[in-house]
Amino acid sequence: MTAPAPSQNGLAELERRNRNVWSGKKSLPVSSWSEVGSSSQAVKVRLSSRRSTPLGGIGAMRNMARQIGFLALLIVSIGAGPADERSERAGGLNLETLDAGFFKVDVPQGWRVTPAGSCDTFGFLLRDPERPSRQVFFISMAGPLYLSQNQKNIDRQYMSMGGYPVQWYEMPVVDPLTPENFLRRFRDVARTRIAQGYLPGLPSLERLELLSSTPTPTPFGSAGGRAALMRALFAQDGELCEGLFHTATVPLIPSMGGPGGGIAYALWFVGTTAPQRELRRLESDLIRCVRSFELSRSYVEQCMRQQQAAFEGVMRAGQTLRESSDLIIKGWEQRSRVDDILSEKRSDAMLGRERLHSESTGEVYEFENGFYDRYQLDPGKYRLDDLKPLPDGDYGLWTRAPLNGPGHL
C-alpha cells in the first residue's frame, strides 16, 4: 500500500518544522527520515527509524480483513469540518495545523508527530516530548487478536509440528471480545514485535484501571461488533495518567478447529491522555486534535483503486475522526461526578497516598497512605489539628488540587 506524494508546500512545511525543532524553536518534531509512498514518488515524512508495517493482518488473513478495515478508514477519514465551540474552549495548548500533503492534523506546538501504516492500516501518534503522557493516538486496525486460548493452543501445536509460522501468534487473547477487554490487554498488544514495527513508542497503558465504559453505536453490530467510550487510569514512565479511549471490536474469522481461525480486530482505536491531574484542563484541546484529522480525498481514492474496493456510498464528507471525537466530547461533558471522584480515589490508591481536609483552612492536603492513623493518636502536636478524611461524595473537595501535607504541618 502506498501514498501519493505531498504537495511541495506540505513537504516544505514538514522540513521547516523539523529544522526549527533541532534549532531549539517550538515546532512539531518527528523522529528519523523514512518514506511513505510509491517507489517512483515517495512522501518524505519524518517517521520512525524503521519502515512501518501493518499492525497485524498478515497474508491471507490481512486480505480478508481489508474490507472491514478500509470501510472503517472511509467512515472516519474524508473531509474535516470546522471544530465546534465545545472543542475550542481554552485548554492550555497552542495548536497549529500540520499539512503533510496526504493528511492534515492540528498539533500542539512542540509535539512530535509519527504517522504509521497506509490506507486501511493508517495511524498516528502525537506526543509531547517533554511530557510523553500528553498524547493522542489513532490506530485504524489492531490485530489479529485471538478470540480464545484454545485457538492459540491450536496454532502453537500446528507450528510445533512443522507448520508455517502463524505470524500473529504473539498477539494476546481477548476473551470475551469486548472494547473493555481489548483496552485491558492493550499492554500485551503494544509489547509485540508487530506493534513495535508498526508504530514504535506506542503507549503500553501499564497498570490500567477502567473507571467507566459507555456503549456507542457501531456499523459492525450485525457482525458481532461492539464499540465503547472508556475512561481509565494507567501508568506511563512512572507517572499516573488518565485517558479517554474509543474503539470497536469486531470478530473476523470464527474458530474452525484448525490453525488460522478464531481471530478478531479492534478498529478505530483512539486515545487521548495526559497526567491524571491535567486531563480536565487539556482534554478539550486533545479532542480538537482528533477532530481535526483529515486524509485527502485523492489519497483515499488511490487506496480504493489499489485495493479494488467499491465503497463510494460510505464516503461521507465531513467525517474525519469527528464521529469518534463527538462521542468523546459528549461522554466527557456528560461524565458523572461519581466517575471524577472515583478517578481521584483510584489515583490515590495507585500512588499510595491519602487526602485529608482541614475545616479551618478549607484546603485539602495530600499525605503518604497511613498517615491519618498516626495523626489520630495525637492531633494536637501538629500545626493543623482538625484534619479529617474527605467525605465520599464531596465533589468540590475531591477535585480540588491537594497541597503537600507534610509541608503544612
> Looking at residue 18, what is its pLDDT?
35
- The cell numbers describing 109, all together, are 506546538
Alpha carbon 138 to its chain's center: 6
pLDDT tens figures, 315-371: 332 344 556 556 655 665 556 677 777 778 877 787 788 888 888 898 888 888 888
Would 257 be classed as within a structural domain? yes
Alpha carbon 177 to its chain's center: 19
- Residues 205, 231: Cα–Cα separation, whole Å: 12
What's the CA angle centered on 148, arms 146 and 153, to 5 degrees? 90
> Looking at residue 370, what is its pLDDT?
87
Maximum pairwise Cα distance, the chain: 79
Q: Do 307 and 391 share a domain, yes or no?
A: no
pLDDT tens figures, 95-148: 999 888 888 889 999 999 998 887 778 889 999 999 999 999 999 889 899 999
C-alpha distances in angstroms, 258 versus 86, 149, 179, 255, 314?
A: 50, 13, 26, 7, 35
- CB proximity list for 34: less than 8 A, separation 6 or greater: 45, 46, 47, 48, 49, 50, 51, 52
pLDDT tens figures, 352-361: 888 888 888 9
Would 345 be classed as within a structural domain? no
Answer whether 270's CB lies under 8 Å from 255's CB: no
Alpha carbon 24 to its chain's center: 28
pLDDT tens figures, 212-246: 998 988 877 888 889 999 999 999 988 999 999 99
Q: Do 169 and 84 share a domain, yes or no?
A: yes
Partners of residue 136 on adjacent β-strands: 126, 272
- The cell numbers describing 33, all together, are 527520515
Would 376 be classed as within a structural domain? yes
Q: Do 187 and 260 share a domain, yes or no?
A: yes
| Boundary (domain end) residue, out of 277, 307, 336 | 336
| Boundary (domain end) residue, out of 336, 366, 398 | 336
Name which of 18-32, 170-184, 278-292 the model is least confident about. Answer: 18-32
Would 194 be classed as within a structural domain? yes
> Looking at residue 93, what is its pLDDT?
87
Answer whether 357's CB lies under 8 Å from 403's CB: no
pTM: 0.69
Would 140 be classed as within a structural domain? yes
**What is the SS3 assignment for 366?**
strand
HSE at residue 352, side-chain half, CA atoms within 13 A, is 2
Would 3 be classed as within a structural domain? no
Alpha carbon 190 to its chain's center: 11
Q: Do 45 and 102 share a domain, yes or no?
A: yes
- Residues 254, 326: Cα–Cα separation, whole Å: 32
Q: Do 390 and 295 share a domain, yes or no?
A: no
> Looking at residue 163, what is its pLDDT?
84
Would 1 be classed as within a structural domain? no
Would 145 be classed as within a structural domain? yes
- CB proximity list for 185: less than 8 A, separation 6 or greater: 145, 172, 173, 174
Range of the domain at 363: 352-408
pLDDT at position 92 over 60: yes
- The cell numbers describing 215, all together, are 456503549
Domain count along the chain: 2
